[in-house]
């Protein structure tokens, strides 16, 4: 259950909430970490929000606009991010295991070391990730990537064991250093 005070601060977009973890440093025990577990933030405008180390497990972010936000080390396990705008988002070292990202736009985002284990990325868009971010070290084990568009992405070191790539568009992508992806010769 989301902390009601944290949720209210986010909804009012106060400066104090927006700056939590803004420097990307590891939180100390005495730091307040955003607890937004299970929060309903569907269709919310969270553009340029800093929610580093936030707990958004099971949150509803369906259709939310997270453009240019910073979510370093965020827990988004089993969150609903269907059709969310995650363009140019910094999601480094976050956990989106089991998340529903169907139809989400992750273009130009930095997904380095992010976990997408068993996530639903059907129809997701990952354009130009090589220019503005990358997927280096990302874990897509067991993820559903049917009809996803992965274009111009750096997949160096990505783990794709058991990922489903039915009708997935892979263009301008170097898959030579990817673990677990069947390569058609």
Query: Within 13 Å of residue 127, how many CA atoms lie on the same side as its CB?
Result: 7
Q: How far apart are CA 180 and CA 165, in angstroms?
A: 12
How much is the pTM? 0.83
Q: Looking up tokens 């997408």, which residue turns up?
A: 116
pLDDT of 74: 96
Q: How far apart are CA 170 and CA 8, in angstroms?
A: 41
Category of 157 on φ-ψ map: left (φ > 0), alpha (ψ -120 to 50) or beta: left
pLDDT of 14: 39
The tens place of each residue's pLDDT in the chain, 185 residues long, gives 888 888 876 776 534 444 554 444 544 444 567 899 999 999 999 999 888 899 999 999 999 999 999 999 999 999 999 999 999 999 888 999 999 999 999 999 988 889 999 999 999 998 875 333 456 678 889 999 999 998 887 777 788 889 998 999 888 877 766 666 654 43
- CATH numbers and ranges of domains, the chain: 1-23+34-185 (2.160.20.80)
pLDDT of 12: 63
Instruction: Return the structure tokens found at 83.
Output: 């059709």
Query: Within 13 Å of residue 32, how many CA atoms lie on the same side as its CB?
Result: 12
């Amino acid at each position: 259950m989301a902390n009601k005070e944290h949720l209210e601060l986010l909804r009012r977009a106060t400066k104090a909430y927006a700056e939590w973890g803004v420097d990307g440093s590891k939180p100390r025990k005495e730091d307040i970490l955003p607890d937004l577990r299970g929060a309903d933030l569907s269709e919310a405008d969270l553009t340029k929000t800093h929610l580093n180390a936030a707990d958004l497990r099971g949150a509803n972010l369906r259709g939310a606009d997270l453009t240019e936000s910073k979510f370093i080390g965020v827990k988004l396990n089993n969150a609903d991010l269907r059709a969310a705008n995650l363009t140019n988002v910094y999601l480094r070292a976050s956990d989106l295991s089991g998340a529903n990202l169907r139809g989400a736009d992750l273009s130009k985002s930095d997904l380095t070391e992010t976990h997408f284990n068993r996530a639903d990325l059907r129809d997701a868009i990952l354009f130009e990730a090589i220019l503005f971010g990358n997927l280096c070290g990302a874990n897509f084990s067991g993820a559903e990537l049917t009809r996803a568009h992965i274009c111009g992405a750096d997949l160096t070191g990505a783990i794709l064991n058991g990922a489903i790539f039915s009708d997935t568009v892979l263009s301008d992508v170097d898959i030579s250093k990817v673990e677990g992806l069947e390569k058609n010769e």
